[in-house]
Structure 1
Amino acid sequence: MVPSEIPRESLTTSASLPEGNTSANGTEANSSNVDKSNGQTQTKEANGANGANGTKEAAMVAEVAEVAKNEKLSGAEMKKRAKAEKAARRAQEKQAPPPAALVVKKIDGGEEAAKKGSTTAGPTTPGVKTQHKRTGSTNTTHHRPMVSRPAQSQAAPPAAQPKKESKRVALFGHLYGQPRRTTIAGAGKDVHPAVLALGLQMSNYVICGSSARCVATLLVFKRVIESYITPPQNSLPRHLASHLSPQIDYLVSCRPLSVSMGNAIRWLKVEISDVDPDTPEQSAKHDLCDAIDNFIRERITVANQVIALSAAEKVQDGDVILTFAKSSIVQQTLVEAHRRRTKFRVIVIDSRPLFEGKHLARALADLGLEVQYSLIHAIGHAVKDATKVFLGAHAMMSNGRLYSRVGTAIVAMMAKEADLPVIVCCESVKFTDKVALDSIVTNEVAPPDELTIAGENTTSLSKWGDTPNLQLLNLMYDVTPPEYINMVVTEYGSQPPSSVPVVHRLSTNS
């Protein structure tokens, strides 16, 4: 029995109607069957493909209608053809390899596989449109699949830059600070011009000794006070101390403060705080300047004279005095002994990089003294001829240890081995209540380039910064144990090293 033909108008109408609405004349039943079949197929496909929506059913209806239009098939034949196409399409999808770019997303607790850019099509039939697969997302425009890039993980990482070798000695790492200032660039606007000049002089060792730096600092602060004007709504005792702070900070950036400088600055701040706020400004400034002059005269100038007179008495005829580097108070002692017409000669031991002993040897030779000059590596030979050792001091610590120019400790040790008396000349302004056990915890690190020999000829250390595993350490001071010291001569008399705390309390009235 030949199936009845389906009118062209019915098929066309059913293709254009929305889903679930078909025309009459038998087409409604066929379309309903197709819709039901498509619905069942779509349900199965949705379960397998994670939520395909109803738009696919409309596409199937349109496809079947188009096939019926061209080939005039019956409803049963169209249903069979649709099932065959679906089966072939599923078989092809199972056999096809998975796409390269696959992203798994979690949506409402589930995982969704999104394929990018490729669609799998079944066997094509003449006159049948290709059907595109869609994901189950209701809003596909806002969920773009993220494509994995395996090529990036396989790419070689960029070559790491070689780490610059540190030229700081780790054991003394706590002593390194900001590089020493050698110019006035970056100085604050509140820094006095006299302070700027003094900082550069100390940084370049034009003013080097502890006593010389202390006197120069007090004289500069005297000029700062003279040019100081108290701002409105302020008082001199309160504002002047804060005005001195940038001056002190600049000096510290050029070179760390010595112990005598620290003691002098603390004394000056106490004097400023003791000024009566009701005192006129000019009178208060005049009193402070007079106090600075008295401090320099009593604590340094007169103290040096007293120490020189006392220590010169210990120089006798025929003595060979050994000294290290250059100390202003030791120089005054030797000059005073020579003025007394005592017959003696001097051995000056010196060391790099400052060679301070050259200035002492030249000054003594100009006075007519017999002077022998040698570097510290010859100390073992020099102590054989010496009879006494005179040493200067940067500071005397509370535990009786001598804090002085680096190399002093080896000189004192060699003198002790040779049974020579070691006499230290030191003003009380250099005494401190601090304790030093070694030269590691407290010290000053100078620029290491000072150790390289400057000259036209190229030396082995000219490019030491580029030499691997090479570090230079330029320490300024060392610590001498009290066992190597026989006497400390101060303006209060000759004392053993154990009496340093007592002298310090007497000098500070504490």
Structure 2
Amino acid sequence: MADAAAPKQEATQATPDTQTKQNGSADTPKAAPESAEPKISGAELKKRAKAEKAAKRAAEKAAREVGGGSAQPAPGKKQDNKQKDTKQGQQQGAKGQQPERPLPVRRRGSQTAPAQPVKETNSEKQKAAEKKVGLFGHLYGQPRRQTIEGAPKDVHPAVLALGLQMSNYVVCGSIARCVAMLSVFKQVIESYTTPPGTSLARHLTSHHLSPQISYLSSCRPLSVSQGNAIRWLKDLIIKIDPSVPESTAKEHLSSSIDTFIRERVTAAAEVLADTACDMIVDDDVIVVYAKSNVVLKTLLRAHAEGRKFRVIVADSKPLFEGKCMANSLTAAGIDVTYCLIGAISLAIKDATKVFLGASAMLSNGRIYSRVGTAIVAMAAHVRDITVIVCCETIKFTDRVALDSIVHNEIAPAEEILGQDEWIGESLVNGEGELQKGREGALQKWMDTPGLQILNIMYDVTPAEYVNMVVTEMGNLPASSVPVVHRASTNA
């Protein structure tokens, strides 16, 4: 026991001596070691740092010139790697004796290696820019969103679904998109909770509703009716008294949206169809273009009232909406002729009236509608055929346009390519059989120099080609659009 305690006692006695050496008492002054280095001034430290930086840059430059070969780390990195060496040694001691591996060296050549994919991306961007039509260059914005990847986290799931449906034309048409958007906003409002310290009138519009609108516009540009509905909804939210309970305010907003849809869309279409139906008489030959729900409702109502008439449906790429129009009319028992817009000059020879829908009625009386509408209206104007436009007042706008170049929507170019264009050239062998030939230019249009494809969605029809505009407020000339729009907005 005495022998075991001796080392402990010696260690205890050695502690004051150690403290004395550390504290440096006056009785035993420290002697400067012979190997102590002279004190370095600030200027010398700066020179040494500059030298280390220069050596580091020289080493990096040499590694770049080698092009990814073995390069020694710069002297300045030795101190930085000490802690990594110690940590790696502790991990190896914990795992057991393992063969020592050299630390990975970040070579300059490996950092410059990804430069090639960047160059390819730039070349792809340059190729895509060359495929844009210069006259419509200002209309090319961000590509249309096709997936929910990268969508903001505060976007409601119902809005995510609607955005994809709009982008893929599952929900198509100005009124259909407007009604679907308002129905989705009802769900957004019902799931909304006002944060503490804020009011519903301020927070709901700017912080909760704006991200939903931005997401929908990234999937597809909003129509005029959607814009009018959004302005109406925002104005309704702003006017809510902050003292009103949140549940009461949300119920008021939901009921107001239902009333808006019922009065401005459903009832307006019924009244409009009744008014336009009176213009159809027996033995009429009516030309329609693409698909308009209110025009379809007018024709079905006239047929239900016993009027005998024939319909010519003109259609065009890329959506071929006229096919749905022709199917609906044929299912009701109406005599229908279907043709593409290239044959409109022949199809309109026997026509007595032309009924057209509209995506918007501009303030200068012009029609903003599916591309091809202007051709049908002008062909009818040449033959002095009455052109009637059926349009609800929710589609009226104070915007003015003289052509379809300043403001329009450009869809992806691939949508305008049908199956015939993708087949390519065809050859006939000696037996008269059709054989598939080499690929056509449209199939590889991105790689064909000088070939551009423009898939424009709308055109503008001048007011002088329109004889009458039928609305839920009655029949009026195209020049009265701004008056009716002002009256419906202030109502």
TM over 0.5: yes
- Per-residue CA deviation, residues 477-509 of structure 1 (Å, 9 max, x unaligned), is 000001100000001100000000110011011
Residue 447, structure 1, aligned to residue 412, structure 2: yes
- Residue of structure 2 equivalent to 1:174: 138
- Of residues 149, 152, 155, the one that matches 1:191 is 155
Aligned ranges for residues 327-366 of structure 1 at < 5 Å?
A: 327-366=292-331
CA distance in 2, matches of 1:253, 1:454: 28
Helix, strand or coil for the counterpart of 1:321? strand
- Residue of structure 1 equivalent to 2:39: none
Residue 437, structure 1, aligned to residue 402, structure 2: yes
Aligned ranges for residues 80-99 of structure 1 at < 5 Å?
A: none
Greater relative contact order (Cα < 8 A, sep 6+): 2
CA distance in 2, matches of 1:199, 1:449: 20
- Of residues 329, 342, 349, the one that matches 1:384 is 349
- Residue of structure 1 equivalent to 2:169: 205
- Of residues 483, 487, 490, the one that matches 1:506 is 487
CA distance in 2, matches of 1:366, 1:451: 28
- Of residues 488, 496, 500, the one that matches 2:469 is 488
CA distance in 2, matches of 1:447, 1:429: 28
8 Å Cα contact 2:315/2:321 also seen in 1: yes
CA distance in 1, matches of 2:273, 2:370: 20
CA distance in 1, matches of 2:489, 2:335: 40
How far does residue 309 in structure 1 lie from its aligned partner after superposition?
Answer: 0.3
How far does residue 457 in structure 1 lie from its aligned partner after superposition?
Answer: 3.1
8 Å Cα contact 2:290/2:321 also seen in 1: yes
How far does residue 460 in structure 1 lie from its aligned partner after superposition?
Answer: 3.6
Residue 267, structure 1, aligned to residue 267, structure 2: no
CA distance in 2, matches of 1:502, 1:374: 37
- Residue of structure 2 equivalent to 1:465: 446
- Residue of structure 2 equivalent to 1:420: 385
Helix, strand or coil for the counterpart of 1:269? helix
- Per-residue CA deviation, residues 396-418 of structure 1 (Å, 9 max, x unaligned), is 00000010000000000000001
CA distance in 1, matches of 2:405, 2:311: 32
How far does residue 395 in structure 1 lie from its aligned partner after superposition?
Answer: 0.3
Residue 475, structure 1, aligned to residue 439, structure 2: no
Helix, strand or coil for the counterpart of 1:231? coil
8 Å Cα contact 2:389/2:469 also seen in 1: yes
The RMSD of aligned alpha carbons is 1.5
- Residue of structure 2 equivalent to 1:288: 253
Structure with bigger helix share is 2
- Residue of structure 2 equivalent to 1:220: 184
How far does residue 199 in structure 1 lie from its aligned partner after superposition?
Answer: 0.3
How far does residue 431 in structure 1 lie from its aligned partner after superposition?
Answer: 0.3
CA distance in 1, matches of 2:205, 2:133: 37
| Runs of 4+ displaced beyond 2 Å | 160-165, 454-460
The one-letter amino acid paired with 2:423 is N
**Taking structure 1 as the reference length, what is the TM-score of the superposition?**
0.68
The one-letter amino acid paired with 2:183 is L
Q: 5+ residue gaps in structure 2? A: 1-50, 52-118, 425-439
How far does residue 462 in structure 1 lie from its aligned partner after superposition?
Answer: 1.3
CA distance in 1, matches of 2:416, 2:303: 35
The one-letter amino acid paired with 1:464 is W
CA distance in 1, matches of 2:369, 2:423: 33
8 Å Cα contact 2:413/2:455 also seen in 1: yes
How far does residue 166 in structure 1 lie from its aligned partner after superposition?
Answer: 1.3
Residue 304, structure 1, aligned to residue 269, structure 2: yes
- Of residues 211, 232, 240, the one that matches 2:204 is 240
How far does residue 241 in structure 1 lie from its aligned partner after superposition?
Answer: 0.2
CA distance in 1, matches of 2:131, 2:419: 20
How far does residue 234 in structure 1 lie from its aligned partner after superposition?
Answer: 1.1
CA distance in 2, matches of 1:248, 1:167: 30
Aligned ranges for residues 70-149 of structure 1 at < 5 Å?
A: none
- After superposing the two structures, state which structure 1 stretch, 455-464 or 442-451, moved more: 455-464
The one-letter amino acid paired with 2:169 is Y
How far does residue 232 in structure 1 lie from its aligned partner after superposition?
Answer: 1.2
Helix, strand or coil for the counterpart of 1:310? helix
How far does residue 247 in structure 1 lie from its aligned partner after superposition?
Answer: 0.2
CA distance in 1, matches of 2:400, 2:224: 12
How far does residue 189 in structure 1 lie from its aligned partner after superposition?
Answer: 0.5
CA distance in 2, matches of 1:354, 1:421: 26
User: Over alpha carbons, which structure has the higher Rg?
Assistant: 1
CA distance in 2, matches of 1:244, 1:254: 16
Residue 324, structure 1, aligned to residue 289, structure 2: yes
How far does residue 233 in structure 1 lie from its aligned partner after superposition?
Answer: 1.1
CA distance in 1, matches of 2:211, 2:251: 22
CA distance in 2, matches of 1:168, 1:380: 31
CA distance in 1, matches of 2:133, 2:217: 22
The one-letter amino acid paired with 2:408 is N
- Of residues 406, 410, 416, the one that matches 2:371 is 406
Helix, strand or coil for the counterpart of 2:257? helix
The one-letter amino acid paired with 1:437 is L
How far does residue 454 in structure 1 lie from its aligned partner after superposition?
Answer: 3.8
Helix, strand or coil for the counterpart of 2:407? coil
Residue 258, structure 1, aligned to residue 223, structure 2: yes
